[in-house]
Amino acid sequence: MIIDIDHLLAIPIFDANRCSLGFHPLHTWPFIILYFSFLFIPNIYVRIIGLGLVIHMFADLIDCLFIL
């Protein structure tokens, strides 16, 4: 997904032992709240994008749980 473009800002770009939530700019809690709020906007396209972003953040959360 295009949301992972912010991984290019990290040094190193990939680290298997790093949790992306809270580390990468588009994976911080203010943005996660914004993505969740997309689910309540009447426009169906915004809702679909919001659902995809929320699922992506949930998948990253699962990855973080396996790191700990």
* Alpha carbon distance 67, 61 (integer Å): 10
Q: How many domains does the chain have?
A: 1
**Over the stretch 44-61, which tens digit does the pLDDT of each residue have?**
999 999 999 999 999 999
- Is-contact 25 9, C-beta < 8 A? yes
- The predicted structure's pLDDT at residue 36: 97
* pLDDT recorded at residue 2: 87
Please give the residue range of the domain that contains residue 10. 2-67
Evaluate if residue 68 carries a pLDDT over 70: no
For residue 58, with 0-12 CB atoms within 10 Å meaning exposed, 13-18 middle and 19 or more buried, which class applies? exposed
pLDDT at 10: 87
- What is the tens place of the pLDDT at every residue in 18-48? 999 989 999 999 999 999 999 999 999 999 9
